[in-house]
Structure 1
Amino acid sequence: MREPDPQVPVPDAPAVPAPGTVTPSVPAPSTAASAAPATAAAAAADAAAPGPAVPGAPGTAGAADAPDSPRYRPDAKHVLLLGTMAALPAVSTDIYLPSLPEVARDLGTTAAAAQLTIAGMMVGGALGQLVIGPVSDRFGRRLPVLVGVALHVVTSLLCAIAPAIVPLVALRVAQGFFNAAATVVAMALIRDRFVGSDASRLMSRLMLVIGVAPLFAPSVGGLIAGELGWRAVFVALALFGASVWVLVLLKMPETLPAERRRPGGVRTALAGYAHLLRDRHFVALAVLPGLMMAVLMTYVVASPFVLQEGYGLTEHQFALLFAVNGLGLVLGAQVNAAIVRRVSPIRILRVVQVATVVLTGLLLVVALTGAGGLWGLLVVLWLVLALVNFAPPNASAIALGRHGAIAGTAAAFIGACQAGLGGLVSNLSGLFGGDAVAMAAVMTGTSVLALAILAFATPAFRRGGAWSLG
């Protein structure tokens, strides 16, 4: 079906179905499509509070385009393929963590400067997603991922021979920019096929695959660095990137047919982002995953120095504790995937954001007072991390459900918020001293801000307001 003129706004699909409803659909083969209309209850709620107009949207984002389209449900194939793609930036971060103190010593720099190699990759990822999202809407899903991952391999090899901290940081920014292609396309593919509870559940299942990174990557990275030095870690990253490239080449067909691609270049991309920015509920929901990523990345960036230098843990002890905390991340995501079948994503968000503020506040108290010593800190930290993965899939599913016609651009916006906020905020702990108190203070402040945005920038806590968001 021919799409309408991109300058003519057309109403988007309903935001997110009511609890317990299932609404996956798609007209295109494999993993590209648009969301089917929500259930009657969600549609009625959406009529009371209609979603924003979408430039270039084909009616209701796919339902009208292919009424006889097959219906899809998340399965192991989707989880493994998309999870491996989405895990590339996580592996690029986590495998390198035990090497941070060694990098600082070897390159004659400070801990804060070494942490910039992590923050820089995330900021590069944010910029990359803003560019790659519209590109994937214009040229399809397959080409951007293949080009981006190939360039990730090249920059990984260049990082291995970086002579000083400044070129290493610059190369890490480039590495984040290029491997963002894997993340943003994975998110766009989810929105192409699934909405509401199905989308949230699939995003949560991805955490099971992505969670392998914090469980094993630091141990692998520590082993490689211990035997061959920190530079060899980047050679391993290049090899992992090459394996992802082969997997995408062989297993991911083109999923966005030519008739559904958005014509135009920079102007069209900017128009898409301008449209998203006018939807204040979308912006608020898109920021929430970024703030939760900032909580997580503050721990990720600060923990090598807090635990190894502050509490005297060895690289292997740190890797073991990091894996235990990674297990908390995975378990939290899987609990969310189970309960989202019965509880709407917005209701989960309301409870989890309050609980996160309480637990991060307790973490700050433990860090300030030293209550319970290392074990006291670790127990509360584990509980905080177990909640971190509740907000991103739920907030992302609701936000993406509002803009199915420009799923790549919307996914890029959310991904950019995640990577950008995660990279910028996490480095504050190093600037504030890099100890346990600085880490806990940044995590607490960020979670308070997230709750304030949910409470005041969305109708989530207003009577009846949750139905307009899902």
Structure 2
Amino acid sequence: MASPDGISFSDNSATGRQTDAVPVAMPGWLPLLLGFLTAVGPVSTDIYLPAFPALEKSLHSPAGSAGMTLSAWMVGLAIGQITMGPLADRFGRRIPMLVGMSIYTLGSVGCAMATTMTEMCLFRLIAAVAASASIVIPSACVRDLSTGNDAAKLMSKLILIQGIVPILAPMLGGIALDYISWRAIFWVSAVYGALCVLLLLRAFPETLPRESRRELRPLSLLHRYLFIARERSFITNALVWGFCGFLSFTYLTAAPTVFEHIFGFTPAHYGMLFGLFAVCMIGSSQINGALVGRVSSSAMLGWGIAFSVLGAVALLVVVMVAEQYPGPTHHIRPVMLLPIVGCMMITLGMTGIIGPNAMVGALSNQSQYAGSASAFAGTMQYALGSLASTAIGVLPADTPMPMAALMLFAALMMGVFAVMRPHAHHPVVSAE
């Protein structure tokens, strides 16, 4: 069956429901468009990190208070994702993203014009709830259009597009602060949102046929999430995905303090280091895309987690050794910088393999509820990410030990839930 936009799907003729949707002729530019849309997450998270001190000074807010805007962003994403998924299953993929990115654009304008930290947090929350549509729905589009190894390859392409943003965003944000106000960063975010709206209007095809859409009823929605949560391949892979987020947000929250205050990095130098880690994630995601088909997605996930655990163990050992021999003017000797960065490159780099394969596994049996399942997994990830940020906030900030310990904890938890995954995926019959 063909959608009005020219993308074809396979049907189950007995039920009239979409099954494993496989495109007959998917446009080659569609992965690029999906990646551009999902990049709203790293664009909005990373580009303003170097502006925290300027933000606090401009809004007459105490040191460290800018972190509340990041917490508001993550809370908004957790709320938004669990609501956007069902909307995408009811109204299709295109309309929720159009509405979401329109509101995100207005929220970014509000951030650019905020006069107090409270206003900034409020507009960040609004922007996050709205941006959730373009963060979670493209993953459902991948499930609409492909399955198995093909889905893993397509997901890797999305990771590549998303990965370019973390390389450039903090670096550009840090450099821009030398010439322009922090408010200009949010005006740029608003322009990005407006461009996404234009692309959705002019180029994005609907990937969910009308006959495959679901009714939106509160009790039915609750029943749907309970049904999804009971499916073993979903919950185990989604928890792997969630603790992958825990690991990433541990780094995201702790690294500015570790590298700027302990090792004396400037914001621009930290932005470059941030880009180096992003290059590692992109590289591993492309290795994943190249090997899928020759190596199973499940095996790639296992190897990715194994290397992440090894990197995290090595990081903790290096930090423990470094703290036994502190320098005369630094809490940790500068010579220990290289091994710490090397261990983090391994640990964080593997998320480019773990992320796409865990999400493919989570959605493997969720063809009927791909939007809801993707949203559920995303909410779990940002909830765990918020927990990681909170933990870093209450632990000592003059040592990299909390960062290393929490990254190892996340890697080990990924391993635990990976072992608990079912050995084979079997079709799940709807409870509705």
**So what's the TM-score if we normalise by structure 2?**
0.89
8 Å contact 2:78–2:378 — kept in the other structure?
Answer: yes
> Match for residue 448 of structure 1?
412
Aligned-pair CA distance for 1:468: 6.0
Report matched runs for 1:49-68 at 5 Å.
58=15, 61-62=18-19
8 Å contact 1:58–1:405 — kept in the other structure?
Answer: no
8 Å contact 1:31–1:192 — kept in the other structure?
Answer: no
Does 2:400 correspond to 1:436? yes
> Match for residue 206 of structure 1?
158
> Match for residue 109 of structure 1?
62
Q: State how far apart, in whole Å, the 1-side matches of 2:40 and 2:308 are.
A: 27
Aligned-pair CA distance for 1:367: 2.2
Q: Which runs of 5+ in 1 are unaligned?
A: 1-25, 38-56, 460-464
Aligned-pair CA distance for 1:386: 1.2
Aligned-pair CA distance for 1:242: 1.0
**So what's the TM-score if we normalise by structure 1?**
0.82
Q: Indicate the SS of the match to 1:390.
A: helix
8 Å contact 2:23–2:146 — kept in the other structure?
Answer: no
Report matched runs for 1:388-403 at 5 Å.
388-403=351-366
Shift in alpha-carbon separation, 1:296–1:134, aligned structure 2, 3 A = same
8 Å contact 1:118–1:423 — kept in the other structure?
Answer: no
Does 2:381 correspond to 1:418? yes
Q: State how far apart, in whole Å, the 2-side matches of 1:325 and 1:242 are.
A: 29
Instruction: Select the residue among 256, 273, 276 that pairs with 1:304.
Output: 256
Shift in alpha-carbon separation, 1:255–1:468, aligned structure 2, 3 A = closer
8 Å contact 1:273–1:409 — kept in the other structure?
Answer: yes
Q: Which runs of 5+ in 2 are unaligned?
A: 323-332, 428-432
Question: Could you report, residue by residue, the CA deviation over 1:80-133 in whole angstroms, capped at 9, with x for unpaired residues?
Answer: 11000110111101101111233344443243x432322321221121111011
Q: State how far apart, in whole Å, the 2-side matches of 1:35 and 1:418 are.
A: 31
Report matched runs for 1:338-417 at 5 Å.
338-370=290-322, 372-417=335-380
8 Å contact 1:126–1:415 — kept in the other structure?
Answer: yes
Q: Number of matched residues?
A: 413
8 Å contact 1:119–1:422 — kept in the other structure?
Answer: no
Q: State how far apart, in whole Å, the 2-side matches of 1:101 and 1:77 are.
A: 39
8 Å contact 1:352–1:387 — kept in the other structure?
Answer: yes
Does 2:3 correspond to 1:28? yes
8 Å contact 1:101–1:304 — kept in the other structure?
Answer: no
> Match for residue 277 of structure 2?
325
Which residue identity does 2:242 align to in structure 1?
Answer: G
Aligned-pair CA distance for 1:263: 2.0
Which residue identity does 1:450 align to in structure 2?
Answer: M
Question: Could you report, residue by residue, the CA deviation over 1:20-78 in whole angstroms, capped at 9, with x for unpaired residues?
Answer: xxxxxx753559776789xxxxxxxxxxxxxxxxxxx9577426xx9xx85346x6412
Shift in alpha-carbon separation, 1:70–1:239, aligned structure 2, 3 A = closer
Q: State how far apart, in whole Å, the 2-side matches of 1:390 and 1:29 are.
A: 34
Q: State how far apart, in whole Å, the 2-side matches of 1:243 and 1:277 are.
A: 36
Question: Could you report, residue by residue, the CA deviation over 1:184-238 in whole angstroms, capped at 9, with x for unpaired residues?
Answer: 2211111001111111111111111111111111122123322222222111111
Shift in alpha-carbon separation, 1:420–1:358, aligned structure 2, 3 A = same
> Match for residue 78 of structure 2?
126
Which residue identity does 2:418 align to in structure 1?
Answer: L
Report percent identity of matched pairs: 32
Instruction: Select the residue among 196, 201, 204 that pairs with 1:252.
Output: 204
Shift in alpha-carbon separation, 1:164–1:368, aligned structure 2, 3 A = farther
> Match for residue 293 of structure 1?
245
Instruction: Select the residue among 148, 170, 177 that pairs with 2:100.
Output: 148
Q: State how far apart, in whole Å, the 2-side matches of 1:424 and 1:333 are.
A: 26
Q: State how far apart, in whole Å, the 2-side matches of 1:212 and 1:29 are.
A: 32
Which residue identity does 1:165 align to in structure 2?
Answer: M
Which residue identity does 2:369 align to in structure 1?
Answer: I
Shift in alpha-carbon separation, 1:28–1:333, aligned structure 2, 3 A = same
Q: State how far apart, in whole Å, the 2-side matches of 1:441 and 1:59 are.
A: 51
Q: Indicate the SS of the match to 2:115.
A: coil
